[in-house]
Structure 1
Amino acid sequence: MEVNKKKQKFVKYLFTTLAFITCIMAAHAQPAEQQYDVAAYVWPAYQPDARFKDIGVFKDGKGEWEAIYNAKPKFPGHNQPHVPLWGYTNEADPKVMEKKIDAATSHGVNVFIYDWYWYDGKPWLENGVDKGFLGAKNNNKMKFYLMWANHDHSSYLDYTTDDKSKIYWHGGVDRPTFDKMVAHIIKDYFSKPNYYKINGEPVFSIYELSTFINGLGSIDAAKEALAYFTQKTKEAGFPGLHLQGVLWGAIPSGLSATPGDKTSTQNNVVLNLGLKSLTNYQWCHYVPMDRYDRWGDKAIEGWAKFNKDFTVPFFPHVSISWDPNPRYPGALQGMVTEANPKDFKRFLLQAKAYADAHPDQPKLITINAWNEWAEGSYLEPDKQHGYDYLDAVKEVFGKK
C-alpha cells in the first residue's frame, strides 16, 4: 500500500514537472518561420523628394500624393480618387514606415522590393528606403532588395498634362557611372543584415535590360559590367550576386541587342548576362487590359510559357490592378476593371501552387504593389476595401 502511494506521488510529480517544462519551452519558442517570401514592390514617391523641384512637379510637398487626392472620376462608377486609410503619409519618415512594416509583416508580406533610381550621376527617391525603411526601428522584421528602375524618366509624373513625351532624365548609364552605382549599392545596401539574399547572394533586379545594354553600348559591354558587379560583391564577402531580370518586352531577343535580330532567344540573352532568375513587375506589361478576373487568368497562363522558355527560375507574380488615370487629367487611359480582393486571393493561391510545384527554387512570390496608388495597384488599406487585400495575403501566406 505504501509503495503504491509513493508511486502515485512520483507519477504526479513527474507530470507536474513535465507540464512546467512544456510551458517554459512554449514561452521561449520562436514563432514559426513563414514558408514563402512574399515581396511587394514599393514606389518611393510618396515623400517630399528635393528633386521634384527639378522637374516642376508636386509643389504641395507631399510627393505623388498630390496626384492622388486631385484625381477625378472619368465615368460613372470610376473609383477615383483613391483615399488611403492611413492618410497621405510621408514614407521617408521612419515612424510612418514602422507602422507600415508592422502591417506588412503581420499580414504575410515579408519583403519589400524598392524601385530604385539613378539619374544624372546620383540616386533619386532614395529617401524612401534610406531614411524611411532603414531608419525604422523595426526594419529588421522584414527583408528588402532593390529593383533598378532604369527607364527614361519622362513627364509621366506631371498629372496636369496628358503629354508624357518630355524626357527629363535618361535611364541608360555608361560604365564609369555604373561602377559608381555598384560601389554605392554594395556599401550602403548589400551590407545591411536584412538585405534579401538567395543562397547567401544579394538579389538585385534590373527593370529594363535593353536600356541597360544600350546605355553601355553592347551586350558584351553589359556582360562585362555585370561580371564586375559580381566580382565586387564577392570581394565584399558574399558568395556571389543573384541578378534578377524583370520579364517583359524589354528583354532583347538577340545577343547583338539589334532590333529584329533573331539569332538567339531571350533565354540565351538572360544566360549570357548571367541572370539567375526572372519575375514580372506588372501584368499590364504582357496582358491587354480587361476585366480583372479575365486579366489575371490570362496573365497566369503565361507562367507555363515562361517556365518552358527560360532555364533560370521564374518567380510567379500577381498584380492587384492597373489604372493610371490619376496621372492623366484628360482622356481616359486604358485600365483594368472590376478589380477585387476575392479574385486577388484566387490568384495568390495559384502563385502558391506554382511555388509548391517548383521545389527546386525558393518560394518567392512578387506582388505589384505595396503602394502604386497612381496606378491603382496597392496592398495598403483604403476607404473602399479597408484591409481586404492585405487580409487576402495573410489568408494565403501568413504564418499558421
Structure 2
Amino acid sequence: MAAYGIQYVVFDWYMGPPGNTVYLDHALQAYLCAPERADVKFSLLWANHSRFPASLADWDGLVRYWSANYFPRPEFLKIDGHPVVFVFSADMLEAQAKTFGQTTQSLLARAQSIVQAAGGQSVQFIAGTGASAPFISATAKAEGYSGFSAYNYQQGPADMHMSHSYAELDQGYRAQWQLFAQKADLPLIVPATSGWDKRPWGGTTADRQHDNSESSPEQFRQHLQAARARMDSGPWQSWKYAVICCWNEYGEGSFIEPTEQGRFQYLEQVKAVFGGGAQR
C-alpha cells in the first residue's frame, strides 16, 4: 500500500452479540502484526448495520473498547490530532438509538465524554450517507458529526437508477460529490470506487445489469482524477482526504489489491493520481 501512495486503510469493524464481542477483525489483527504498519495509518468503518447497540451499556462498551485498544496507537488515523471513526450508516445509527430512548446526538456526546475521561482527544465521527439525506444540511453538525463519507454508492447518472456500466457509476459518484459541495456544511472524505460486480456472491438481484459496473484501469484513473479535482476544489472542502472502495471486496467486484490477472494495474492508477503527497 505505502509503495503505491496509500497512506491509510479503513477496516470494516464489527461488534455484537453474543457477548458483545469483536468479530471478523482478522485483517486488522494481521495489520497490527505487520512491521511496516507505521507507513500506513488505520481507521475503523464501524459496520453498524445490525441491531447493535441495543442499550447504553452496549454503546459505552463499544466506545471504551475503541478508546482502550485503538485510539492511543500511533498508527491510528487522526485528523487535526483527533481519531477518526467512520459510521457505515448514519440513518441506521439514528434508528437503532431510538430503540432504547436515545438519539445520535446523545450517543456521540456520550462517546466524547468517555474518550476524554480516559485521557484521549475527542473523536472525528464521519457520517456514512448519501448527499440527498435530509440531515446533510440541517442537523449533522449538531448531532456531533465532523464530516461525511460513504462506503459506496450504487446509482448511475442524474436519474439515480442503478448503474449499468462503470461510466454510469462514475457519473453517479460525481453527482454525489457535487451535491455535497452544494449542500454540506461539513467536510467530505471523498468516496471513490473501482467498480461493482456482485456475481461472485450470486449477483445483484434487484437489477442484474448493475453487475456490469466494473472499471478498466484507465476508467478508474479518470475517476480518481475527478476525485482529486473535487478534493482540491475548495473552499467547501477543508480536508483533502479520499477513501477508495475497496482493497479486496472480491464478492462485489470492488478491489484494487494486486491479482494474478490484473497484476498491479489498479494500484498504478492510485500512485499516478495520488503519489504526489495528497492525503488518500
TM-score by length of 1: 0.62
Residue in 1 that maps onto 2:39: 141
Change (3 A) 1:239 1:190: closer
User: Considering only CA atoms, is the larger Rg found in Structure 1 or Structure 2?
Assistant: 1
Deviation at 1:295, TM superposition (A): 1.9
Question: Is 1:283 paired with 2:180?
Answer: no
Letter of the aligned partner of 2:138 in structure 1?
Answer: N
Q: 1:305 aligns with which of 179, 196, 203?
A: 179
How many pairs align? Answer: 267
Residue in structure 2 matched with residue 26 of structure 1 by the alignment? none
Instruction: Answer with 370-379 or 298-307: which moved more.
Output: 298-307
* 1:294 pairs with 2:191: no
Aligned twin of 2:26: 127
Partner letter of residue 194 of structure 1? E
Secondary structure in 2 matching 1:278: strand
Indicate if the aligned counterparts of 1:113 and 1:144 stay in contact, CA closer than 8 A. yes
Where 2:130 maps in the other structure, the secondary structure is coil
Q: How far is the alpha carbon of 1:376 from its aligned partner? A: 0.4
Residue 292 to residue 221, structure 1, CA distance change in 2 (3 Å):
closer
Q: Is the Cα contact below 8 Å between 1:246 and 1:278 reproduced in 2?
A: yes
Tell me if 1:386 matches 2:259.
no
Residue 104 of structure 2: aligned partner = 222
1:26-62 residue CA offsets vs partner (Å, 9 max, x unmatched): xxxxxxxxxxxxxxxxxxxxxxxxxxxxxxxxxxxxx
The AA in structure 1 aligned to 2:220 is F
Instruction: Give yes or no for contact 1:249–1:285 (8 Å, CA) kept in 2.
Output: no
Quote the offset at 1:193 in angstroms: 0.4
Asked if residue 316 in structure 1 is aligned to residue 198 in structure 2, the reply is: no
Percent identical residues: 24
Question: Aligned runs of 1:182-261 on 2, under 5 Å?
Answer: 182-217=63-98, 220-248=102-130, 253=134
For the residues of structure 2 that align with 1:274 and 1:329, how far apart are their CA atoms?
Answer: 37
Query: How much does 1:266 deviate?
Result: 3.6
**Could you say what secondary structure the match of 2:243 adopts?**
strand
Letter in 2 for 1:114: F
Partners of 2:190 and 2:218 in 1: how far apart?
18
Question: Aligned partners of 2:197, 2:228: CA distance in 1, in Å?
Answer: 26
Distance in 2, Cα, partners of 1:319 & 1:222: 28
Hey, what's the Cα distance between the residues in 2 that align with 1:329 and 1:196?
34
Counterpart contact for 2:90–2:129, Cα < 8 Å: no
Structure with bigger RCO (C-alpha 8 Å, 6+ apart): 1
Is the 1:172–1:211 Cα contact (8 Å) retained in structure 2?
no
What is the one-letter code of the residue matched to 1:304? Q
Residues 292, 336 of structure 1: 8 Å contact kept: yes
CA distance in 2 between counterparts of 1:107 and 1:188 reads: 28
Q: 1:281-301, CA deviations, whole angstroms, 9 ceiling, x for partnerless residues? A: 112167522211232023212
CA contact (8 A) 1:200 1:239 kept: yes
The separation in 2 between residues aligned to 1:214 and 1:365, in whole angstroms, is 27
Q: Which amino acid aligns with 1:322?
A: W
Structure 2: gaps of 5 or more residues: none
Structure 1 residue 220: Cα displacement: 5.0
Query: Which residue type is aligned with residue 138 of structure 1?
Result: E
Cα distance change of structure 1 residues 330 and 349 upon mapping to structure 2, 3 Å threshold: closer
Q: Deviations over 1:3-39 (max 9, x none)?
A: xxxxxxxxxxxxxxxxxxxxxxxxxxxxxxxxxxxxx
Distance 2:91 2:177 in 1: 22
TM-score normalised by structure 2 residue count? 0.87
- 1:353-394 C-alpha deviation (Å, 9 max, x unpaired): 111112651210110001101110001112332111000001
Amino acid in the other structure paired with 2:110: Y
What displacement does 1:324 show? 1.2
Residues in 1 aligned to 2:204 and 2:244: alpha-carbon distance in whole angstroms = 29
- Tell me by how many angstroms 1:329 deviates: 7.8
Residues 338 and 366 from structure 1, CA distance in 2 versus in 1: closer, same or farther, beyond 3 angstroms?
Answer: closer
1:178 Cα shift?
0.6
- Counterpart CA distance in 2 for 1:330 and 1:133 is 31
* Aligned-CA RMSD value: 2.3
How far apart, CA to CA, are the structure 2 residues paired with 1:311 and 1:394? 30
Structure 1, unpaired ranges of 5+: 1-103, 153-169, 254-264
